[in-house]
Chains A and B, each alone.
Chain A
Amino acid sequence: MAGTGEIRSCSDGGLCKSAGKRLTTEFLSCIKCQVKLTKQQANWSPYDNGGSCVAVAGADYCVVAADTRMSSGYNILTRDYSKICKLADKCVMASSGFQADVKALQKLLAARHLIYQHQHNKQMSCPAMAQLLSNTLYYKRFFPYYSFNVLGGLDSEGKGCVFTYDAVGSYEKVGYSSQGSGSTLIMPFLDNQLKSPSPLLLPALDAVTPLSESEAVDLVKTVFASATERDIYTGDKLEIVIINAEGIRREYMELRKD
């Protein structure tokens, strides 16, 4: 790796003056860039309002939950902001990230849903909305919606389904998912509790959890309580939306306010 004979350029990037020049050091970047790298810097973006979202699919229900804290940097903007939006009768989306982009996205999808209803005389199914959301996000591939979404609902057969997205529309149907600032804390826990015994089993086991609706709601509450402990951007209140054959209902739970 090291050696004065090799031609290497500073690995820190294109702006470095040493780019392309032979380095006579053992390190992978020139001294100047290294110094820059090690300097402590505050690291937050005003384009992130924080928060976490979770969705869990069951055999005949779907639970979508998100906290209600909106923050900017180290400040709390409000403790009571809903990140969850009902897109169709049996389809609910929770989004974390930059809430202005989330709001714009929700409005767009609501308008598109109205057009769909005018044209097709019926509500959009959850899988259809999932594809629409993906296309809408990719449409802005080169100036993305800073929105990390989970879509939850019932498919046309009444089974629970959850779709998880990245900011530019890559999506997958899963049995459960989390997005947002607390997702790194939440996802491993959900994997532990909900992941099917073996993804190698053929035919592939259904991704939806065998848990009952109340068990799933309890799991979600537990998960958020834990995430709130360690993620500063998650807390205040938890909003839970449960979709089942009877319709949609909402529950709230207080979370730690610190």
Chain B
Amino acid sequence: MFRNQYDTDVTTWSPAGRLFQVEYAMEAVKQGSAAIGLRSKTHVVLACVNKANSELSSHQKKIFKVDDHIGVAIAGLTADGRVLSRYMRSECINHSFNYESPLPVGRLVVQLADKAQVCTQRSWKRPFGVGLLVGGLDESGAHLYYNCPSGNYFEYQAFAIGSRSQAAKTYLERRFENFTDSSREDLIRDALIATRETLQGEKLRSSICTISVLGVGEPFHILDQETVQKLIDTFELVAEEEGPNAEPDADAGEGVAPDQGDVPDQSAAADQGVAPMDL
């Protein structure tokens, strides 16, 4: 009822002790198209649904390489996300330059969170309208963090943000206990299935989703459309036979493994020919 009186600027508290501008910023994240992240002990997979303004335009870039060992998927105001990605890249480069070692992910997300907090305590600024799923690898293993516009950050085994992300979260909640020991291929498959859940019936094609992988011995890179389409075809076939809610693991394991054994090699070879920060 009193929301409208206390939501004009971010430096005004409501009587209930809330900052409405910050909460509105988090709403902006929910409006963006979905982004999903999951991690195992050794790999992190980030996936997102590509949203294009119109049929004629290209889709917005939502996954950014920050460094060889860190990638970020965003949801919300992609312009804010771009700016924050540039900041993250700059921090990684500076750290590498000064310390000759990769910036630990946990440090980066704290810096990011502090940057977001500043915008919640200045009357001439507004909070960032973007949620970031930061996936990275450092000496303590693979990590996935979610950075809020509020300046909070949390570590996750798997998470989804953006519109219709609840469907993906439901799927991930069912399966997340297995993720720690998942293989790279299973992790990617789970990411694709989670992405499909957010599409609510729309057919999953490589043109509407983007998948990125990083892990031990594998620098961050975005999988190219061909590879993604092959992966979709491999598991979609299985899913049609088994049904979307069944556990495809047992039977699919034997059928899927030989195909997917070939695909990672091809994707590795194909990726080496492409520019480092490829789409």
Contact = CB atoms under 8 A, between A and B. Distances in A.
Contacts of A107: 97
A128 B86 CA distance: 22
B64 to A, nearest CB: 9
Interface residues of A, number: 10
B276 A111 contact: no
A118 B277 contact: yes
Interface in A62-118: 107-108, 111, 114-115, 117-118
Nearest to A107: B97
A79 B276 CA distance: 35
Contacts of B275: 117, 121-123
A151 to B, nearest CB: 21
B108 interface: no
Interface string B251-279: 00000000000000000000000011111
A115 B97 contact: no
Most buried by B among A108, A114, A115, A121: A114
Interface in B92-114: 93-94, 96-97
Interface residues of B, number: 13
B278 A121 contact: yes
Nearest to A115: B93
Contacts of B90: 115
B89 interface: yes
Contacts of B93: 111, 114-115
Given A123-B275, A123-B276, A118 B89 contact: yes
A121 B96 contact: no
A206 B152 CA distance: 61
A108 B97 CA distance: 8
A128 to B, nearest CB: 14
Contacts of B279: 121
B96 A115 contact: no
A107 B101 CA distance: 13
Nearest to A121: B277
Interface of B: 65, 86, 89-90, 93-94, 96-97, 275-279
19 contacts: A107-B97, A111-B94, A111-B96, A111-B97, A114-B89, A114-B93, A115-B89, A115-B90, A115-B93, A117-B276, A117-B277, A118-B65, A118-B86, A121-B277, A121-B278, A121-B279, A122-B275, A123-B275, A123-B276
